[in-house]
Every structure is written in structure tokens, then in C-alpha cells.
Chains A and B, each alone.
Chain A
Amino acid sequence: MNNSEPQTREQLAGPTPEAVGQGLRPERGRGPGFRAWQRFKANRPAMFSSIFLLLLLAAVLAWPMILAFSGSAFARSHGPDELSGLQFAAPDAHHWFGTDVLGRDVFSRTLYGARISLLVGVFGAGVSLVIGVLWGALAGYAGGRLDGLLMRTVDVLYSLPSVIFVIVLITTVGERVRQMPWILKSPVLEGWLRIGFLFLGLGAVSWLTMARIVRGQVLSLRTRAFVEASRALGAGGGRILFRHIIPNILGVAITYTALTLPSIILYESFLSYLGLGVQPPMASWGSLISEGVSQINPIRIYWWLIVFPGGALSATLMALNFVGDGLRDAWNVKIR
């Protein structure tokens, strides 16, 4: 029985002209996800960007292992935290991205910084996804006074300057938690806690648009024929929500999460640049760029300290934007 398969407008309308042109036919049982994937695959910049991101991810994960297995001499000259006498070496065959003020390998530090930048981005987007979907779905599904209350709250939060809110949040509440006695004992825990606050704070200011979009979707889905049919057949609220509503807002939610991801990565590097984000010895792209900027002097130009971490950050943002746009087109989502 496939009757309970959520039916989107596209499925009811039959195969799209492009799908017919490519010899694709929507098969029974293949949901909107499969068709979106077909469209995404045809989008060359998006596919290229996905491959780039996967390679970056692989490099970030593999680099510590390469260091561990390649012998101690290589690890000593290329470890992200290994100091050496070779200060400000320009990029060459040995140090691909050059070295910094303490003689550390910039390539290694860029990959090391990518870890935290990507981590904060992914978790921050996750936080915004969860809050946004729950908030929007609740508002749209409940309707009435609760809807009004929830959405007015979103309106109010919209008029807050979010950067300032995050700065104040991280420097105040973050500091308060950080000074609890059991955390002060462990510097490792302290560093991770700071990152935790970073993505909680960033996620907490990035869910507003998500909530609005999800609410709109839920409002329109609630009155669609297949939901009414399901209700007429005796399905309860929970079944309708999880079987019909959630699968159908999934595409929108995934798309908007992908579009939120770069902005959270950007926020994080911005805060780390200002010294409000991750603290040394941890590094993110923002703090690496900030180190590079602090070395600007009129005598010698150490361009590699800025260009490589900045380039990695920019390339990642660009790739994420392409993937987000690709997902948007693939799911046929309209975001204002």
C-alpha cells in the first residue's frame, strides 16, 4: 500500500518536462527526495561544490592521521601546534602555505582551523533547524492565539540586532558558566564549552527565518486534500504531523539549513576575529586571519598568513552557497 505516501503538488502534476526530457519517470514509491536528488545531480556548480566540500572534510579528518603515520620528523615540522625556528617562511614545496610568527605550518593550521569553523557551522545550523522547525510547525499547526503569540515573538526578535545579541550573550552568560568551579579546573573543557556557547548562541539567533518559512508551509499543508483525506480516514494529530506534515516540510528545512550554514560559519569567524570566539591554542579560520592581520607591517608583507586561511574560508562559503542554491532549485523551494 502506497496510499499514505505524501503526495506533493509535483507528483500530482505528473513528470516535469525536464524529467521526461532526461528519460526519467517518477516511479511509484519514489518520494520527492529521489526526484530532488535527480535535479540536484544535474546542477553542475552544486555537484562540483559538494565534491569540494567532501574533499575538504576528508582532508580535515585525514590530516591528523597522516601526521601520526608519516613519522615524527614530518609531524614535528608540520603539526598545527609545533613551534619551529623557521619564522615567516614563504610558501614553498616544504611548507605549502608558509609558516607563521611561531614557525608553525600554515597549511596544517588552516586544516586545523577548518575543524572548528565547520563544527560550529554544522552544530549552529542544527540548533537553528531544530528550534525553527519546532517553533514554526507548532505555530502553524496550533493556529489561533498560540500562533499569534509565537509569531509576534519572532517579529520582536527580528528587530534585535543579532550580532550584538550574540556578542553580549557570549561575553556574559558564557563567562558566567565558564567560571563555575568544576569547569575552571579543566582548560580542555573550558575551550570546548566556549565552542558550545558559540554554536548555541549563533543557532539561537539564526532560526527566525526558518520558523517563518516552516509555519507558512505547515499552514498551506494543513488544508491540503491529502491531509484532510487522512484525517477523514481517522488519523490522529500525531500521525498527520509525522506522516504528512514533517516529510513535506523536510525539503524546505534542509534547503534553508544549507543556506544558514555559511552565514553561521561567517559569524563564527567574525567573532573569533574579534577575539570573542575560540581562544588560543584552539584556532578557527577567523582567528587565523586575525593573527595574519596583526602581522601587517610596512617592512615585509606576509600575504600568505591572510590569503590562505581567508581563501579557505571564502571557498567554503562559496561552495556552501552553491550547494544551498542547488538544493533550493532541486526542492523547488521559494524563499522570498
Chain B
Amino acid sequence: MYFLRRIILSMPLLLVISMLAFVLVHLAPGGPFDSERKPASPEIERNLQAKYHLDEPILKQYLSYLDGLVHGDLGPSMKYRDHDVNEILASGLPVSLTLGCLAFGFATLGGIVLGFLTARHQGSWMSHAINFVVLLSVCVPGFVVAPILILVFAMRLHWFPVALWGTPWHMVLPAIALGLFFAGKVARILQSGMLEAMQSEFMVAARAKGLGETRLLARHAFRMALLPVVSFSGPMLADLLTGSFVVENIFQIPGIGVFLVNGSLNRDYPVVVGLSLLYAALLIGLNLVVDYLYTLLDPRVSYE
């Protein structure tokens, strides 16, 4: 019931976001056709404006946009003349989603392994080494990591392709560059969760009953420490799916991030509004999923 209500509540939210994006984008001076044909005759200009309904009042434009939206049509692109936003999404979204999911897998797996190891071997040289790597991965931004990865693994060692997208080999470096920061975050969260759990009374009780240290960690502390990781993973997945502009830019990957940045620069109104809506919907949806997962993992949590 609670989740049904939240789904219903997210509808007006998306409406507000679409309105905000629509107004903001139209506030900008200049139109999508300014840059290319400066000496165009006024007639051509007017025809273009009329074709995309830019000559109508903004409220009317917004309403007709909404009308298209409920029919699943995000409108035409004004820059990529022969394509509409739906086609752009259809070509770019799978790429961005694949990249995001790979990075997500890398971040959670890597982070959990690192976090577990530091908590298990606390105080050893290995945990110090891992802590240092984790610290680096949290502090070095993705657009620094990515070119360094390219220089080392693609240019120098020739292990991976330098850029572009296609084979699984192309996906390795971008996924690492995108996921490294989050791997560090996950490792930290898991580590602090486990250290906290290890001091709790049920751990003392389990230890007193004679449970082995590894089993103790894996069965009890790990499960407790996983909860904050789950709650972090929702925003993390949203960030990974929506925040890949830079990595897409560096590796020349044809995802939707490129379209959003170019769309904003070129005043490609429908592209910007459509992509903003998509991102917002992703964010809202993922937060819902996380809250739901939480009730499954932790029986103490209830939203009723």
C-alpha cells in the first residue's frame, strides 16, 4: 500500500520536473536553429519555427508536449533533424545502461571484497594497503582515472582498446573508470558496518558459543553490514546510470550522456527535457526499489 501511494505520488513530481525543465530550457536565449544558418531568409526561419511549433505561446507548446508524452512520444530532435527523441533514447540508452550496470557490478563486487578483507584482517599490512587503495579511489575523480587508465593499459600496454564501444574488451576500462569511486565508497561503508557489528552483543554471544572467526564474520557481521550498502546502492546505481557523461565523453561512447550535454549546448529543447525526465524517473524508481529491498533484508523496517 505504502509503495503504491509513493508510485502515485511520483506522477505529479514528474509533471513538475517536466514543467521546470521545459521552462528553463525555453528561457535560454537563442533557438536550436541559430548556429547553423545565420544568413537564412526570414521565411525559412519562420517555417522552421512553425514546423516545431516554436512560434506558439509557451503554455501551448508545453501542453502539446504533454499530450505527446502521455502517448509515449518525446517529440522530435531539433538538431539531429531526421531523428526523434525516442530514437535517440533507443540507440543511446542500452549503451548507457550496459555501462552503468557493468560499473555497478564492478563497484559492488570490488567494494564488498575489499571491505570484507580489511575488516577480516584488521591491522595487518594487507588491510593498510587496501585502505590506501580505497582512499585513492575515493579521492581521485573519474575523469582523472580514465585518461590514466587509457595511457597505461591502452597506449602503453595495449591490453584494451583506447576508446569506442562494441566488444566486451571495449567495456572494461570505462566500467572501471566509472565504478572505481563507488567501489571505494562501498568498501568503506561495508568496513565500518562490519567493525561496528563486531562490537555488538550478539557477536560476543556467538563467539562465546564457539563460532569460528570467519564464519562469524561471514554469517553475522556481514549480513548486518550489508544493510547500509543496500541503501547506498540505490543512489549509487542512479548516479552510475545518469552520471556517465565524462566517461562517455573520454571513451567516445555513444550513450545518452553525450546527447544531454550537446542538447543543452545546442538548445535542442525536446532532447534536454526528455532526458531530464528520464533521469528523474530513473532516480525516483531506483529509490523506491531500494526502500522495498530494505523491507526484505531487514524485518525490523516497515513503512506501514
Contact = CB atoms under 8 A, between A and B. Distances in A.
Contacts of A175: 28-30
A160 to B, nearest CB: 6
Contact of B143 (A167, A176, A289, A301): A289
B13 A156 contact: yes
Contacts of A289: 143-144, 147
B76 to A, nearest CB: 19
* Chain A contact residues: helix, strand, loop or mixed: helix
A176 B28 contact: yes
Contacts of B150: 296
Nearest to B17: A160
Interface stretch (B46-54, B111-119, B134-142, B168-176): B134-142
A173 B24 contact: yes
Given A173-B27, A274-B261, A168 B272 contact: yes
B17 to A, nearest CB: 6
A270 interface: yes
A161 B275 CA distance: 11
* Chain B contact residues: helix, strand, loop or mixed: helix
A310 B148 contact: yes
A321 interface: yes
B144 A176 contact: no
A221 interface: no
Interface residues on B, range: 35 or more
Contact of B24 (A172, A298, A311): A172
A306 B242 contact: no
Nearest to A297: B155
B264 A167 contact: yes
B30, B136, B139, B246, most chain A CB atoms within 10 A: B139
B260 interface: yes
Interface residues of A, number: 42
B27 A270 contact: no
A292 interface: yes
Contacts of B24: 168-169, 172-173
B144 A310 contact: yes
Interface stretch (A34-42, A190-198, A312-320): A312-320
Nearest to B28: A172
B143 A273 contact: yes
Contacts of A179: 29-30
A167, A313, A318, most chain B CB atoms within 10 A: A167
Interface of B: 10, 13, 16-17, 21, 24-25, 27-30, 135-136, 138-141, 143-144, 147-148, 150-151, 155-156, 162, 238, 242-243, 245-246, 249-250, 260-261, 264-265, 272, 275-276, 279-280, 283-284, 287
Query: What 9 pairs between A and B have smallest CB-CB spacing?
Result: A310-B144, A172-B28, A318-B139, A171-B264, A161-B279, A314-B140, A306-B147, A317-B139, A293-B147
12 contacts: A168-B272, A172-B27, A175-B29, A179-B30, A289-B143, A296-B155, A301-B151, A307-B148, A310-B144, A311-B144, A313-B141, A321-B138
